[in-house]
């Protein structure tokens, strides 16, 4: 059971060590120097390698399979977008079909990949560099995993989600770094990879060999609005009558600007009525990605004329419009409130 892969990796490791001995490298980061020279060559058989992880890390693999990371190349919305482009998406590949991101380093834009684009942003992209495995702990699997604290930090995600010069439409990083969540030490992982207590290894034949019991792990479902999971409660909505107006205070709770990305519209709809419940008017305001988004830096106060009203019903929602590859528009409620004078 301990398998082709492990043995294969083991022999590859032996080769690396042998190469090191030959050049007599004794300096600080021996493995770095070997891997740098390996960098221009792409990994063969990537899809097959990614397929093997599930044998021992079934939970994580199941979660990942349902995400847009797994579909970052095959996603119909993405495919529709690149069909229009002269380069057929080559310029998109650094993030939508990347090589191992640690080749460039955490927080840096990855290199594009030619092979096996259909496996998207996968286990190997985030956890391997050449023949080494990397993760948040220095666990005993794979002949020793290289622990890197960066896995617990936003840097990891900023490689692709925080490169405004490469793709401003898909940047959550800039607003995150300026926002209150970052100042309070909350990372992307703390909201998009919830903590869970479980074993790193789910294989019934393998896990007995490792004495580490359940430990603090992270769900790999990377929930987002496209799958409707985290939108409710993404902002706080407060409102009060003040003289002839309704004063509304909105606070994005996203850690980054809201909406988080291109296309989406966040809107506030207010329906005013008098004491008998008869409609006396309405108000509307919208926010979009970029300069017109709700900021991550704290509350925004708005005022709407409401002289004739005794009641106001407020709805805050996000719409993902119909788009090539997305047949239906998706309207999701963020918060709702009713106030009386
Ligand atoms: C987009 C990058 C990314 C992808 C893709 C990814 N991981 Fe992770 N993984 C992480 C991060 C970040 C952590 C650590 C989170 C923390 O501890 O805060 C992690 C943690 C882990 C851990 C340690 C235990 C845990 O849950 O914290 C294992 C094992 C793991 N990943 C396996 C996998 C496997 C197998 C796949 C493919 C199905 C995969 N990962 C895909 C980023 C990724
Ligand atoms: C033959 C079983 C097996 C396979 C297949 C396997 N792993 Fe592992 N993996 C382990 C074991 C065992 C550990 C260590 C568990 C422990 O120490 O608790 C581990 C730990 C890890 C960690 C550790 C996290 C950390 O921070 O220490 C990561 C990341 C990881 N594996 C990624 C992968 C990826 C990516 C693949 C597929 C390319 C993969 N594994 C395939 C057995 C396996
Ligand atoms: C190597 C590039 C890369 C890295 C690193 C990366 N992402 Fe992504 N992420 C993407 C791409 C590309 C998409 C969108 C794919 C699409 O919609 O076509 C995406 C989508 C997402 C989504 C929406 C997922 C869904 O299924 O709705 C979330 C949330 C997300 N990423 C969070 C994170 C977090 C948190 C991290 C860090 C732990 C991270 N990403 C690291 C490239 C990356
Ligand atoms: C710097 C990295 C990067 C580059 C380059 C990049 N993207 Fe993305 N893209 C992302 C990330 C990260 C996401 C997920 C977060 C988001 O939607 O902002 C994403 C999401 C998407 C989505 C899904 C949007 C949705 O509505 O859910 C589409 C479509 C897309 N990208 C198209 C493209 C196209 C086309 C290109 C090339 C012209 C491209 N991207 C280049 C990082 C990148
Ligand atoms: C305080 C919690 C929190 C933090 C921190 C946070 N997010 Fe989010 N994020 C959310 C919520 C809630 C949403 C849903 C609202 C929305 O989709 O606009 C969201 C939406 C997203 C989306 C859009 C998904 C979609 O399909 O529209 C992406 C991509 C994303 N976050 C990536 C990141 C990255 C990358 C970081 C770190 C730089 C990060 N987030 C930090 C809570 C958080």
DSSP result, 27-73: SS-HHHHHHHHHTTSPPSSHHHHHHHGGGT-HHHHHHHHTSTTTTTT
What band does 16 get if pLDDT is binned at 50, 70 and 90? Answer: very low
Ligand 4 pocket: which of 76, 92, 322 to mutate (most atoms within 8 A of CB): 92
306 within ligand 1 shell (Cβ under 6 A): no
Residue 331's SS3 state is: strand
Q: What is the mean pLDDT of residues 63-74?
A: 96
Look at ligand 5, atom 4, and give the residue with the nearest C-alpha: 255
Whether the per-residue pLDDT at 230 is higher than 70: the answer is no
Complete DSSP assignment for 60-81: HHHHHHTSTTTTTTT-HHHHHH
167 within ligand 5 shell (Cβ under 6 A): no
Among 162, 167, 191, 189, which Cα is nearest to 178's? 162
pLDDT of residue 2: 38
- pTM for this model (two decimals): 0.90
The CA distances from residue 83 to 12, 80, 169, 262, in Å, are: 39, 5, 18, 18
217 within ligand 2 shell (Cβ under 6 A): no
Give the number of the ligand closest to the Cα of residue 72: 3
Give the residue ranges of DSSP H helices in the chain.
Answer: 3-23, 30-38, 46-52, 58-65, 76-83, 93-96, 123-127, 155-161, 173-178, 180-183, 188-192
pLDDT of residue 40: 53
pLDDT of residue 10: 35
Superfamily for 235-340? Immunoglobulins (2.60.40.10)
Rounded to the nearest integer, the mean pLDDT of the chain is: 86
72 within ligand 3 shell (Cβ under 6 A): yes
Whether the per-residue pLDDT at 232 is higher than 50: the answer is yes
Q: How far apart are CA 240 and CA 303, in angstroms?
A: 10
pLDDT of residue 284: 96
Q: Ligand 4 centroid vs 170 CA: distance in angstroms?
A: 5
pLDDT of residue 9: 36
Look at ligand 2, atom 37, and give the residue with the nearest C-alpha: 53
**How confident is the model over 18-60, as pLDDT tens digits?**
333 333 333 333 344 444 444 456 899 999 999 999 999 999 9
Residue 260 CA, chain-centre distance (Å), reads 11
Q: Can you say whether the dihedral through the CA atoms of 146, 149, 150, 151 is positive or negative?
A: positive
311 within ligand 5 shell (Cβ under 6 A): no
Q: What is the mean pLDDT of residues 137-149?
A: 89
> Edge-to-edge strands of the sheet including 265-273?
279-288, 265-273, 311-320, 330-340
Look at ligand 1, atom 11, and give the residue with the nearest C-alpha: 151
Among 75, 90, 121, which Cα is nearest to 326's? 75
Look at ligand 2, atom 15, and give the residue with the nearest C-alpha: 141
pLDDT of residue 194: 92
Q: Is 150 exposed, middle or buried (0-12, 13-18, 19+ CB in 10 A)?
A: middle
Q: Are strands 132-135 and 146-147 parallel, antiparallel or unpaired?
A: parallel
93 within ligand 3 shell (Cβ under 6 A): no
98 within ligand 3 shell (Cβ under 6 A): yes
8 Å CB contact between 199 and 215: yes
Cβ-based neighbour number of residue 245 at 10 Å:
15
Residues in CB range of 197: below 8 A, 6 or more apart? 214, 215, 216, 217
Backbone angles phi, psi at 279, to 5 degrees: -65, 135
The CA distances from residue 219 to 8, 60, 206, in Å, are: 29, 7, 21
Whether the per-residue pLDDT at 325 is higher than 90: the answer is no
* Least confident interval from 42-56, 209-223, 265-279, 318-332: 209-223
**Every domain of the chain and the residues it spans:** 3-27+45-161+193-223, 235-340
Backbone angles phi, psi at 190, to 5 degrees: -65, -25
Q: Ligand 4 centroid vs 211 CA: distance in angstroms?
A: 41
Q: CA angle, 195 as apex, 192 and 198 as ends, to 5°?
A: 135
pLDDT of residue 206: 67
123 within ligand 2 shell (Cβ under 6 A): yes
108 within ligand 5 shell (Cβ under 6 A): no
Whether the per-residue pLDDT at 127 is higher than 90: the answer is yes
């Amino acid at each position: 059971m301990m398998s082709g892969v492990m043995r294969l990796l083991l022999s590859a490791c032996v080769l690396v060590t042998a190469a090191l001995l030959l050049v007599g490298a004794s300096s600080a980061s021996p493995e770095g120097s070997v891997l740098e020279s390996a960098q221009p060559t792409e990994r063969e058989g990537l899809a097959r390698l990614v397929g093997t992880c599930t044998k021992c890390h079934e939970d994580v693999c199941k979660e990942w399979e349902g995400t847009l990371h797994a579909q970052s190349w095959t996603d119909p919305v993405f495919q529709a977008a690149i069909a229009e482009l002269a380069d057929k998406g080559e310029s998109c590949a650094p993030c939508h079909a990347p090589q191992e991101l640690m080749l460039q380093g955490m927080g840096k834009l990855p290199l594009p990949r030619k092979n096996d684009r259909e496996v998207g942003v996968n286990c190997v992209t985030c956890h391997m560099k050449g023949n080494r495995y990397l993760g948040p702990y220095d666990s005993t699997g794979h002949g020793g995993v290289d622990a890197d604290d960066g896995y617990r930090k936003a840097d990891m995600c900023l490689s692709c989600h925080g490169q405004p010069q490469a793709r401003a439409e898909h940047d959550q990083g800039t607003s995150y770094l300026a926002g209150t969540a970052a100042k309070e030490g909350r990372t992307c992982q703390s909201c998009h990879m919830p903590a869970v207590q479980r074993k790193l290894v789910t294989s019934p034949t393998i896990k007995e060999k490792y004495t580490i019991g359940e430990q603090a792990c992270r769900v790999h479902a990377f929930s987002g609005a496209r799958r409707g999971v985290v939108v409710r409660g993404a902002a706080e909505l407060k409102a009060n009558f003040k003289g002839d107006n309704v004063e509304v205070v909105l606070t994005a709770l996203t850690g980054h600007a809201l909406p988080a990305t291109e296309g989406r519209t966040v809107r506030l709809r207010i329906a005013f009525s008098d004491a008998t419940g008869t409609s006396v008017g309405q108000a509307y305001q919208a926010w979009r990605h970029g300069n017109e988004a709700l900021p991550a830096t704290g509350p925004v106060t708005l005022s709407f004329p409401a002289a004739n009203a005794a009641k106001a019903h407020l709805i805050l929602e996000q719409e993902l419009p119909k788009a090539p590859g997305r047949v239906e528009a998706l309207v999701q409620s963020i918060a709702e409130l009713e106030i009386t004078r």
